Amino acid sequence: MPPIEEHVKISRERTGKDYRELHEWLDGDPEKKAERHDITKIYEYGEMIEERFGKEGLQEYIQHLHDDVKVKIGKILMDFERAMAEALSYFGIK
């Protein structure tokens, strides 16, 4: 998933603001990172985030999750394709 600096850069390009505190809240604590990326908690966390960062911050929170899913799934697909190519090659299937 993109590092915090990449999320900050994306937010800055999209909104003119870093939202560093928001991205650090999402990614900065390894113990809470998975819980804070749990999409079933968007409503609960979303209310808190909107109070703290406004509607634009709420959108940046959802966009952060979206960007992480896109990168994570992309990596899984690349790993799968590499493993499949290796397996086919191993058995001489072209």
Whole-number minimum distance, CB 29 to Zn ion, in Å?
A: 11
Distance of CA 49 to the CA centre of its chain: 16
DSSP 92: T
**Does position 60 bind Zn ion by CB under 5 A?**
no
- Binding mask 35-54 toward Zn ion (x if CB under 5 A, else -) reads --------------------
39 or 87: CB nearest Zn ion: 39
DSSP 23: H
72 or 82: CB nearest Zn ion: 72
Q: Which residue has the tokens 């998975």?
A: 34
CA 56 to CA 11: how far, in whole Å? 10
Q: Which of 11, 27, 53, 60 binds Zn ion (CB under 5 A)?
A: 27
Q: Are 20 and 8 in contact (CB under 8 A)?
A: yes
Binding site for Zn ion (CB under 5 A): 26-27, 68
